Structure 1
Amino acid sequence: MTKTPVNKPSDDEAALQAPQPGPVSTWLKTQGFDHKVLPADHVGVEQLGVEPELLPIIAAALKGHGFDYLQCQGGYDEGPGKDLVCFYHFLAMGEQVAAMQAGETPTLREVRLKVALSREGTPTIPSIYGLFRGADWQERETFDMFGIHFEGHPHPKRLLMPEDWKGWPLRKDYIQPDFYEMQDAY
């Protein structure tokens, strides 16, 4: 059996395949904020990777730059042995309202921040509750389902599962307790 040679992309092709910085990334760079440019999502929303300790600083900068609404915060598991990810989807809603009041067609600006965390130990990230009160229950749900702790959150307890529940049900390596063991608990 003959092996087909693998064609490696040239430097020009590799540059075309790398995600290009969008307007928010470009603005953050001019302000001196370090981040990683991620590929846009399936509908073209700009995505940026940030380090956990920089999240509140970058979120505050984005809020000052017009991203005044946290539409969604959540988490997901990349798989056993891989990272847990927290994401934050911000919209510039004030601009939307102002454009509509002026009789103009609004153009929605949105950006998503992603923070990768090791699943080893206790994954911890600073809470952005102080900046966006809407993060309250969203961060609690992410804690409840994935075990990600939000440092500085005023109500750090489970939201969906009973307080004495063991484990994090949406982690891909979660082992569900035996049904009969749960019955014996009552």
Structure 2
Amino acid sequence: MSFEEIKSLLVDKFGVGVITGEETGGLQPALLIAPDRIADVCLELRNNPLTYFDFLSSITGVDYGVEANRFGVVYHLASIPYQTQLTLKVSVENTRDLNDLPTFPSITSVYRTADWHERETYDLLGIFFENHPDLRRILLPDDWEGFPLRKDYKAAEYYKGIKVD
């Protein structure tokens, strides 16, 4: 299926509000999806015999910058039998307060491998995934403060008495 056909399929299934925009200027076009519908969209794209996106290649978190106060998640899907790839993006505005993390639905119920990708995104950017089965740090110690890939992150000078910088 072409990008336009996939877009039409999603609009027919979920309504026009499911797609909030599109990016067609890069190497791979992306559909901007309403954040609360990402799991439904992934499930449809995986189960629909016309698309069969059976492989989640990666999930990447994005900090759009301090001025934008926006965080996002990028999903790279692939259909092995159809040799097709698709990029989906979701984003939300957020105050950058560490007590109010940007939140998206987990897609671990659709793709099991999302478990590790979402944990890494949480660990490094502080993006919370609702209904994730085991959302905790994966690369940094459990008591690490902050999220190192955020644009406003300031590294601690010491961690447990050991100089960090």
TM over 0.5: yes
Q: How many equivalent pairs are there? A: 151
Query: Aligned ranges for residues 84-99 of structure 1 at < 5 Å?
Result: 84-95=71-82
State the match for 2:86 in structure 1: 111
Check the 8 A contact 1:141/1:159 in 2, yes or no: yes
Residue in structure 1 matching 2:66, options 77, 80, 102 = 80
Unaligned runs of 5+ in 2: none
Structure 1 residue 122, shift from structure 2 partner: 1.8
Equivalent residue, structure 1, for 2:11: 29
TM-score by length of 1: 0.75
Bigger Cα Rg: 1
Equivalent of 2:108 in 103, 115, 129: 129
Residue 138 of structure 1 and its aligned partner are, at CA, apart by 0.5
Counterpart CA distance in 2 for 1:41 and 1:164 is: 41
What residue identity is the alignment partner of 1:152?
N
**What displacement does 1:183 show?**
5.5
- Counterparts of residues 1-186 of structure 1 (less than 5 Å): 22-33=4-15, 34-40=18-24, 42-43=26-27, 45-65=28-48, 66-82=52-68, 83-95=70-82, 108-120=83-95, 121-178=100-157, 181-182=158-159, 184=161
**Higher strand proportion:** 2
Return 168-177 or 119-128, whichever deviates more. 119-128
Q: In structure 2, do the counterparts of structure 1 residues 156 and 110 end up closer, same or farther at CA, with 3 Å as the change threshold?
A: same
The letter of the residue matching 1:92 is S
Structure 1 segments (4+ residues) deviating >6 Å = none
**Contact 2:23–2:32 (Cα < 8 Å) also in 1:** no
Q: RMSD of aligned C-alpha atoms? A: 1.8
- Sequence identity of aligned pairs in percent? 31
For residues 18-72 of structure 1, what are the alpha-carbon distances to aligned partners after superposition, in whole Å with 9 as ceiling and x for unaligned? xxx72211221222342123222532x2311112211111111111221111111
